[in-house]
Structure 1
């Protein structure tokens, strides 16, 4: 068996589980002087693509990043930041700028009556990795790529297509933009993992470690199975004791605790976004009764499953 295959399969599982919802796009035109502030939005992610001109991005922790045409920026944790022409310029909250609606999900922001010197395409969306949602807090505050680089050559035509869709306002543009955004985010996340995730977490190291990745992949493919540590160790080709120790060291929790938390993350997605019934979710996740599932859900998530379905799913 190819030793890289399990990690590749797990990457597919990660990307297939990724969902972007509630997407709102802005196409922003500005002159020589501009400044925009983006407030913190927990549970969401920001995406920016600079089509023309130059700019600077200041993160909440004070890091300053220079942007040029062709750069794309992804902030997976929805942290507050600013984009401006110069640090001395005053900034305005992007949510309070005058806009012109291009469609239900796309609007235009024009801050100059002259020929724009800077055009960028911006999106804010709910960022959900499904069963691997625990990966989001481990991601860096900001992930920047050069869409013209050799590693990301596939992104340039996609980003260009997104800009064209936002600009022309053709029928069905919102649906096209949402699907193109899915691809862009997936490529960025994949590139981050391929590059070693900045060595930022043992969890992601495990995704790249063939033996552990087999067990994690089995858990994600069959979350409703009543797994034992011995069965997961067999998936990894390790002894029970070696597997349990290595899993704890690299993931930070015991295997069965991870399995239980995974079920509840999947359950929350099914209840909140897919609008599945509590009974159906309990059955799909292997619980013998709805009551047993509800107790486990409240213990791990902190609220009853009915709350997630009724309130969060609105």
Structure 2
């Protein structure tokens, strides 16, 4: 029972926009806002990463960073260097290739790989809304140890095109992303006041896992509290404090998000999915679904290409 894995599965996360950047000398690139989240890893040298709402952060060899809010950002050799737009730098770029911002024959001062992750639009807020603008995992941090092997393989696989390299890089990017999220959870502990960091709390993490594992079950606050080994009142207060919503409200929202995945990955009728998750009528389900996702179930399914 792994609540983080449950969420990533719910989001149908797909990697895209993978690129390797090699740069030297004074350089800076500005990137427009992007959908969902973007992961970066420094495979050599160092550079600066900047995004709105946080101070510039210097990232060096072995560091990873996660941009989680869709805001524009910059990579540079120094925050004061005027930036070229990424549309100009990456003109003619082929997915999975290398872009060099350096004089011919020079050794790069920075080697950075980046990978964007597209999430299911209706459910993306589950993760995106609880991430800060920038998560930085330094190579020297305790949590970075588990990432080093994956970065070593990324360095090798992105240095030259080989058979099956794109698939390996995609899998490695997923591994690094999960490790960065783990690092963020560990660093925040139970102080983040959002479900992601609530996973660090053994009792509340257990309750979240139960809800994720069996969202159709008619959970009560008392039953969840007993499974978590807490009194009903203490559990309700602790859950609301850490997750940001009361237990049954979180359960109701998770049911809708689970139903959304059923809608986009299968061909069962809306009525049968509504019944599975405890709704007495299709209209009641449709009302709840639209409140959570912003779309009626039928329209959501059509947009997912499953009508």
1:182-261 superposed matches below 5 A: 182-197=174-189, 199-201=191-193, 203-204=195-196, 206-261=198-253
Q: Give the root-mean-square deviation of aligned CA atoms.
A: 3.0
TM-score normalised by L of structure 1: 0.82
**Does the CA-based 8 Å contact 2:190-2:197 persist in structure 1?**
no
**Does the CA-based 8 Å contact 1:71-1:144 persist in structure 2?**
yes
Q: Tell me how far 1:35 sits from its aligned partner.
A: 0.7
Gaps of 5+ in 2: none
Q: Tell me how far 1:59 sits from its aligned partner.
A: 1.8
What secondary structure does 1:151 align onto?
Answer: helix
User: Hey, what's the Cα distance between the residues in 2 that align with 1:118 and 1:180?
Assistant: 20
Say if 1:127 and 1:75 are closer, same or farther in 2 by CA, change over 3 A: farther
Is 241-250 or 13-22 further displaced after alignment? 13-22
User: Hey, what's the Cα distance between the residues in 2 that align with 1:62 and 1:191?
Assistant: 19
Instruction: Please point out which of 25, 49, 67 is paired with 1:32.
Output: 25
User: Hey, what's the Cα distance between the residues in 2 that align with 1:77 and 1:197?
Assistant: 21
TM-score normalised by L of structure 2: 0.84
Say if 1:303 and 1:20 are closer, same or farther in 2 by CA, change over 3 A: closer
**Does the CA-based 8 Å contact 1:60-1:81 persist in structure 2?**
yes
Q: Give the structure 2 partner of residue 151 of structure 1.
A: 143
Instruction: Please point out which of 251, 255, 261 is paired with 1:263.
Output: 255
Say if 1:158 and 1:284 are closer, same or farther in 2 by CA, change over 3 A: farther
Instruction: Please point out which of 58, 66, 81 is paired with 1:74.
Output: 66
Say if 1:147 and 1:285 are closer, same or farther in 2 by CA, change over 3 A: farther
User: Hey, what's the Cα distance between the residues in 2 that align with 1:74 and 1:226?
Assistant: 36
Q: Give the structure 1 partner of residue 109 of structure 2.
A: 117
User: Hey, what's the Cα distance between the residues in 1 that align with 2:142 and 2:204?
Assistant: 31
Is 142-151 or 257-266 further displaced after alignment? 142-151
Aligned residues: 303
Residue deviations 1:260-311 (CA, integer Å, cap 9, x gap): 1111222333434x35545464355344554443232123222111222222
**2:90 is equivalent to residue 95 of structure 1:** no
Q: Give the structure 2 partner of residue 58 of structure 1.
A: 50
Gaps of 5+ in 1: 1-7
